[in-house]
Amino acid sequence: MSITPADYPPLFETASHIALPTAGEDERIEVGVLIVGGGPAGLATAIRLGQLLEGDPELAESLGEVPIALAEKGKTTGSHLLSGAVMKPQPIKDLFPDLDPSEIPHYWEVSKEAVYFLTRSAKLRVPPPPQMKNHHNWVVSVSQLARWMSEKAEEAGVYLLPETDCQKVLIDQGTVKGVVTGDKGRGREGEELGTFEPGMELHAQVTVLAEGTPGHLTGVLRRHYELNQDSVQTWELGVKEVWEVEKPLDVLIHTTGFPLRLGKKYREYGGSWLYPMGDNMVSLGFVTGLDYADATLSVHDLLQEFKTHPLIRGILEGGKRVAWGAKTIPGSGLYGLPSRLHVPGAVFVGDSAGFVDMAALKGVNYAIRSGMLAAEAIFESLKAGTAREATGLWGYDKRIKDSEVWKDLWKVRNIRPGFQRGFLIGGAIHGMATASMGHLPKKITPVADAKEPMFLGDKAYPKPDGKLIFDKLSSVFASGNKTRDDQPSHIRVRTEVPRTLGVAWEYMCPAKVYEVDEDASSDGTVTVRVNPSNCVQCGAITAKGGRLTPPEGGSGPEYTLT
């Protein structure tokens, strides 16, 4: 029996995450501009705004004692960041025009690359599509890049607030006025423990949503301001490992094919990467669209199966895994963007907006560029005193549409949804869109992941050996996950669902958060047990019928190499 995840929505009310500003002057923190999220987009916003305010001390003074603050829910900036990652370096060079590029942390400038189509035991080298040519691009750890950028942000006068989860958005008379941070020290049922600390209101003239994917407050604002009418977001899930290897890798590798099943009924889209990370380190990972059909598909286990291919095994043999992590990617490109990139008093940047080119596998450079453009628009609106007006931040939308961010996403807008029609048709659409520079086909509207029907298959995976193949729980340990077992659950799902959906959650989650009881009721309903302390906050559940909200600040993975 097939099921559709969208028919089983989570118990989540947008209104419960919106509040009126009520705290008195002594009970709140006032900042000029508040940035929610310490990834490349949020940090680029902070740094660029700091640069601009340095040239306008009068405006900086008018923003108060804390002109720019950045709230990061992880233990430190970078703790929750994961990407491949290959990025185009121009945006970060533009952000630091006086800096020698060699001072910006990156592992390798791409000089050699290869794309392969894999079968179970063979490989066929194919020409890389134009979007995937990476000569002179940089291989980076986005986690390390963010930590370096946070140092530059502090030098620019930005006040960093680590371990700060933002749970509610403050809205008064239609205008965003800031956020409410989460409490610390609550027990599983919400009771106050001995370590309890209440959250607080952070008031700001402008709030920048740079939460990444899937973006808790971003989702709240998109629903509240009705920005989703023409938007359909699909997600991909990427699982990544970092290995120390015996022989340095000197080529950038992408693959497709094995271990995916390319038949139309499976709707499996994705591929892999292997990137050099210095002398003896390799970044590898597998990405799969979350619109797949078989409930027994597991992206974590696809990565393990991928490593059994002779090409990959040969690179990793004799090495050891040193890091693991997982994260969703917004995959719809232009079709997933909100109808406006701003609301009164707030803007969306980076993955929170959806600025990812899935055809090129690029997002970090767009995150940095969008943050810079947001900072420039915010600076102008603050000078004009219009930031909280209905269209006071419209300059940000205009800047994005005039930039390479919009132009690149427009050219490839139909490629990802084209593959929802099957591998062969998707390949033909990819070729047509590439040859016509995006003019053909005119429009292919994606279907949301949760609206795609699923069936209960029986896909098998290789058994863990602790050397090449790893299970989920040992992988969670490798992520450095630090989440209290007794804190309130931050995951919103129904716990009585059809077996197919329960199994889908169990297999989908790379961190073994969901477990299905074997006994089913007469109508096929099962009970799903949720283990929120395992969660690495990848966000995949949001695509398949649930909802992820932020846990207590400082919880979750502590990525360092991802």
Q: What is the full DSSP assignment across 427-479? A: HHHHHHHHHTTT-SSS------GGGS-BB------PPP-SSS---HHHHHHHT
Listed residue (547, 531, 539, 544) closest to 325, CA to CA: 539
Contact 237, 511 (CB under 8 A): no
**Exposed/middle/buried for residue 304 (C-beta within 10 Å: 0-12, 13-18, 19+):** buried
Q: What is the CA radius of gyration of the chain?
A: 23
What does the pLDDT read at residue 506?
Answer: 98
CATH, residue 241: 3.30.9.90
Contact 169, 217 (CB under 8 A): yes
Give the phi and the psi of residue 268 in degrees, each rounded to 5. -100, 120
What does the pLDDT read at residue 523?
Answer: 73
Q: Are residues 406 and 424 in the same domain?
A: no
Integer angstrom CA distances of residue 127 from 253, 255, 423:
12, 11, 17
DSSP string for 475-508: HHHHTT----TTSPP-EE--SEEEHHHHHHHHHH
Instruction: Name, in order, each residue with C-beta under 8 angstroms of 202's C-beta and a sequence gap of 6 or more.
Output: 28, 29, 31, 34, 69, 71, 166, 178, 179, 180, 181
What does the pLDDT read at residue 378?
Answer: 99
Instruction: Name, in order, each residue with C-beta under 8 angstroms of 429's C-beta and a sequence gap of 6 or more.
Output: 414, 415, 418, 419, 421, 441, 444
Integer angstrom CA distances of residue 413 from 271, 364, 403, 404, 419:
19, 18, 16, 14, 12
Number of separate helices (H) and strands (E) present in the chain: 16, 26
Q: Are residues 134 and 181 in the same domain?
A: no
Q: Are strands 18-19 and 166-172 parallel, antiparallel or unpaired?
A: parallel
Residue 66 lies in a domain: yes
Q: Are residues 462 and 534 in the same domain?
A: yes
Outline where 11-131 has alpha helix (H).
40-54, 57-62, 90-95
Confidence class for position 372, pLDDT limits 50, 70, 90: very high
Confidence class for position 25, pLDDT limits 50, 70, 90: confident
Q: Are residues 302 and 321 in the same domain?
A: yes
Residue 56 lies in a domain: yes
Question: pLDDT (tens digit, 9 = 90+) per residue, 71-124?
Answer: 999 999 999 999 999 999 999 999 999 989 889 999 899 999 999 999 999 999
Q: Are residues 372 and 296 in the same domain?
A: no
Residue 267 lies in a domain: yes
Contact 39, 241 (CB under 8 A): no
Using the predicted structure, report yes or no on whether residue 1 has a pLDDT greater than 90: no
- Tell me the two tokens of residue 108: 């390798």
| Most distant CA atoms of the chain, gap in Å | 70
Q: Are residues 166 and 300 in the same domain?
A: no
Collapsing DSSP to helix, strand or coil, 254 comes out as strand
Using the predicted structure, report yes or no on whether residue 522 has a pLDDT greater than 90: no
Query: Domain total for the chain?
Result: 3
Instruction: Provide the phi-psi class of 320: left if phi over 0, else alpha when psi is between -120 and 50, else beta.
Output: beta
What does the pLDDT read at residue 307?
Answer: 99
Question: pLDDT (tens digit, 9 = 90+) per residue, 336-348?
Answer: 999 999 999 999 9
Question: pLDDT (tens digit, 9 = 90+) per residue, 132-156?
Answer: 999 999 999 999 999 999 999 999 9
Lowest mean pLDDT among 26-30, 436-440, 464-468: 26-30
Which secondary-structure segment (H or E) carries 169? Answer: strand 166-172
Integer angstrom CA distances of residue 456 from 248, 272, 295:
41, 25, 5
Full domain range(s) for residue 167 = 14-84+145-228+338-411
Q: Are residues 543 and 483 in the same domain?
A: yes
Mean per-residue pLDDT, 446-463? 97
What does the pLDDT read at residue 428?
Answer: 95
Instruction: Name, in order, each residue with C-beta under 8 angstroms of 415's C-beta and a sequence gap of 6 or more.
Output: 358, 359, 426, 429, 430, 433, 434
Residue 484 lies in a domain: yes
CATH, residue 54: 3.50.50.60
Q: Are residues 537 and 476 in the same domain?
A: yes
What span, in angstroms and rounded, lies between the C-alpha atoms of 293 and 3? 10
Average pLDDT for the chain:
97
Residue 5 lies in a domain: no
Residue 393 lies in a domain: yes
Question: pLDDT (tens digit, 9 = 90+) per residue, 176-228?
Answer: 999 999 999 999 999 999 999 999 999 999 999 999 999 999 999 999 999 99
What does the pLDDT read at residue 101?
Answer: 86
Mean per-residue pLDDT, 306-311? 99
Residue 99 lies in a domain: no
Q: Are residues 37 and 152 in the same domain?
A: yes
What does the pLDDT read at residue 524?
Answer: 87
Please, which residues bridge with residue 28 across strands?
Answer: 201
Q: Are residues 328 and 343 in the same domain?
A: no
Q: Are residues 177 and 315 in the same domain?
A: no
Residue 387 lies in a domain: yes
Q: Are residues 515 and 541 in the same domain?
A: yes
Which secondary-structure segment (H or E) carries 207? Answer: strand 201-209
- The fraction of the chain above a pLDDT of 70, given in percent, is 100
Structure-token match 């099957």, residue found: 422
Mean per-residue pLDDT, 471-498? 96
Please, which residues bridge with residue 494 across strands?
Answer: none
- Strand segments, DSSP code E, in 496-557 are 496-498, 514-516, 525-530, 547-548
Structure-token match 């055809």, residue found: 359
